[in-house]
Amino acid sequence: MITPARIVFEEDGKIFALRRYSEDLEDFSGDLLKKRVVDLKPSEKLSLFPYGPSAGGFTESIYFSILTSGEKIEAMNYDTSLKDRKISLSGKDILKALLITERINGIHSASYSSLFCDLMERSSGIEISQEIMDLRTLMMEMERISHHLFVAGRLSGGASQNIASMNIYLLREELLRITGQTFGHRYFFGINKPGGIGRDIDLSNIYEKLESIVTEYEEIYRTLMDSRIFIDRTDSTAIIRDEMAAGPVLRGFGKNMDGRLQHRYYNNLNVRISTGDSGDSLARYVVRSEEIFSSWEIVKKILDRNTRFNMVEEAKIDKIQGTGEKISGYMETPSGDLSMILSVRSGKINFFKYSSPSLWNLRVFADAMKGNNFADFYFGLESLGLCVSETGDIR
Amino acid sequence: MKAWFLRSFKKGIVTSSFPSGKNESLSPWATTPAGDISGEVNCPVDAIHNDKVDSGKCISCGICFPQFKPSLQIPQITTTRVEKSLSKSMKLYIFDSGTCGACNLEIMALNSPQYDMNRLGLSFTNTPRQADAIMVTGVLTDGMIDPLKAAIDSMASPKIVFAVGACAISGGIMGKSISEIVGLDVQVPGCPPDPFVIMAAIEKARGRI
Ligand code: SF4
């Protein structure tokens, strides 16, 4: 199956593309990816409603222009560039580049740093052990559970299910505390290094705690699915059926696609994929909840085979000098597929591009909101699990 | 409804008594590292000078390990003003000037039952007009300069400006500090700061600790 191009760029008069879930750059005959342009013209019946960038209760700064009759959304545009940090990795040494990459999207730093390290290792022929792959996978799955809990908390809070929302936040905080105590950092900063890990990790105490979080979430999830109010608020809102979507948004309308299915880190872990039919906010919520359970299944398998990971000193960054050859890959973050291309020369980054899932999900969301009730904007937005920080432009 | 009540009873009291009691947790690398510089340490943000770590610069990367280890203490919080008039009630407005997302979520975590910010008279507001304090997170980005100035201008006095996290305080590893355009009343170190550190900073700024 041909998957959409995620990164397209021109070099030496030729166009290259990296497709979703692909590690291979290919010659491309299509156009460079274009910015979404929507003409929003107010009229006697339609007014332009500005929303953001800071006021309004968003998790991160973002600006929306919504063309509306007051009831319905006619068209919508967005601008994520206001908080664009103008991140540049060119010329940076590998360590600094890794630290910056971890912070492109801090709440998905395990996914970003795992992919960055994977590319570094492949660029220099460094083999990593199964244990290190397992640790990366485990961190990414814990990150997925944490992110999905946050989205579930926001969505249920928005649907006036405040007790449910607080119960979910409680579980998320428990998870973050376990993460902090076990990994030294609540968002996994500073652990991944090319070739290894930066500190010892002992996982012998986390099994029961994680199990109880997931079991408790299951109870909350079943109770929420019995709530008419929650179902009514999320059912049929912000329906998205666009193949350019990523992650739970893509799976929410029945696409059985997930980068973990073919990624070598997940070999022998039997990733269970959940899909929805309706593509609405409810379907995305169900997909996320089911992913919490399947992520726990993966974590359990990894914990069954490892509990201690020692700092790998061979993680020597100076081993990576690079030849300037481009290397590319992908990772399935909690929000969907992340693609990255980079090259290293003389120990410094000399090419770096990435495509984030939030970039695509925001785009398809803006298209899909046409015709929706204005009041459904919030549910649609929260159900995306958007991370504005990762929509920035890498230079 | 019954299910929720039963759940809450089963769970019992989960809320911390901090700051009158001790903080139940503290993420190790959110605390300022301590050690000595006898070996080679290449801090990527030049935060280490004469065996001391500048907590406003430290990005919690752990590269100084094992010479430096997390101190496991709530870091030094720099406060240039204290507003006792806000000690009973304070509304917080989160302003993201260019974050990775983590600082924002750590501030929002104060709303979770373990911290229950309402017990301290704290609440969030979605507009700076109603805010007593602005919690600025992230590096200074060009596009957020005007919104940041406008937000602070539109707040009623007394108002407190918090710089939350290494990016806002010093620019961290990502960019410029917000101090280039606004005065910082309170600096909350960490990358990101632990929610207990944020809570301690808030309490310090209104003279409660
Ligand atoms: S943790 Fe990182 S930023 Fe902080 S002092 Fe150590 S090396 Fe420097």
| Site of tokens 């309308």 | A253
- Ligand 1 — pocket residues by CB below 6 A? B 33, 43, 45, 47-48, 53, 58-64, 68
| pLDDT value at A315 more than 60 | no
Question: What is the distance between the alpha carbons of residues A39 and B5, in angstroms, rounded to a whole number?
Answer: 50
Q: What's the pLDDT tens digit per position in A175-207?
A: 999 999 999 999 999 999 998 898 899 999 999
**A21 contacts A30 by C-beta, under 8 angstroms:** no
Q: How many CA atoms lie within 13 A of A148 on its CB side?
A: 30
The pLDDT assigned to A314 comes to: 57
The pLDDT assigned to A394 comes to: 47
Question: What is the distance between the alpha carbons of residues B8 and B185, in angstroms, rounded to a whole number?
Answer: 38
Pairing mode, strands A5-11 and A14-19: antiparallel
Taking alpha carbons only, the member of B163, B56, B148, B145 closest to residue B103 is: B163
The pLDDT assigned to A29 comes to: 87
Burial class (CB in 10 A: 0-12, 13-18, 19+), A73: buried
Q: How far A181 CA lies from chain B's nearest CA (Å)?
A: 6
Rounded to an integer, the average pLDDT of A118-141 is: 93
Q: What's the pLDDT tens digit per position in A209-218?
A: 999 999 999 9
Structure tokens at B21: 């009691």
| pLDDT value at A1 more than 70 | no
Residue spans of the domains in chain B: they are: 78-205
Q: In chain B, which residues have pLDDT < 70?
A: 1, 39
CATH number of the domain bearing residue A237? 1.10.645.10
The pLDDT assigned to A181 comes to: 96
Q: What's the length of chain A?
A: 395
Question: What is the distance between the alpha carbons of residues A30 and A4, in angstroms, rounded to a whole number?
Answer: 11
In sequence order, the 6+-apart residues with CB closer than 8 A to the CB of B97 are A61, A83, B136, B137, B138, B139, B140, B141, B144, B148, B168, B178
The number of folded domains in chain A is 1
CA angle, residues A360, A363, A369, in degrees to nearest 5: 135
Q: Which domain holds residue A113?
A: 97-320
* Choices 3.40.50.12280, 3.30.300.130, 3.80.10.10, 1.20.120.80: CATH for B78-205: 3.40.50.12280
The pLDDT assigned to A162 comes to: 93
Q: Judge whether B171 is closer than 8 Å to chain A, CB to CB.
A: no
The pLDDT assigned to A395 comes to: 40
* A209 within some domain: yes
Count other Cβ atoms within 10 Å, centred on residue A57: 15
* A384 within some domain: no
* Predicted confidence band of residue A31 (pLDDT cuts 50, 70, 90): confident
| Site of tokens 């699915």 | A225
Computed on alpha carbons and rounded to an integer, the radius of gyration of chain A in Å comes to 21
Q: What's the pLDDT tens digit per position in A240-297?
A: 999 999 999 999 999 999 999 999 999 999 999 999 999 999 999 999 999 999 999 9
Rounded to an integer, the average pLDDT of A355-381 is: 93
Q: Judge whether B130 is closer than 8 Å to chain A, CB to CB.
A: no
| pLDDT value at A393 more than 70 | no
C-alpha B36 – ligand 1 centre gap (Å): 12
* A7 within some domain: no
Rounded to an integer, the average pLDDT of A58-78 is: 94
Q: Judge whether A178 is closer than 8 Å to chain B, CB to CB.
A: no
Of A61, A172, A191, Cβ closest to residue B96 = A61
The pLDDT assigned to A30 comes to: 79
Taking alpha carbons only, the member of A279, A308, A229 closest to residue A380 is: A279
| pLDDT value at A62 more than 80 | yes
The pLDDT assigned to B39 comes to: 67
* Predicted confidence band of residue A19 (pLDDT cuts 50, 70, 90): very high
CB contact under 8 A, B127 and A99: no
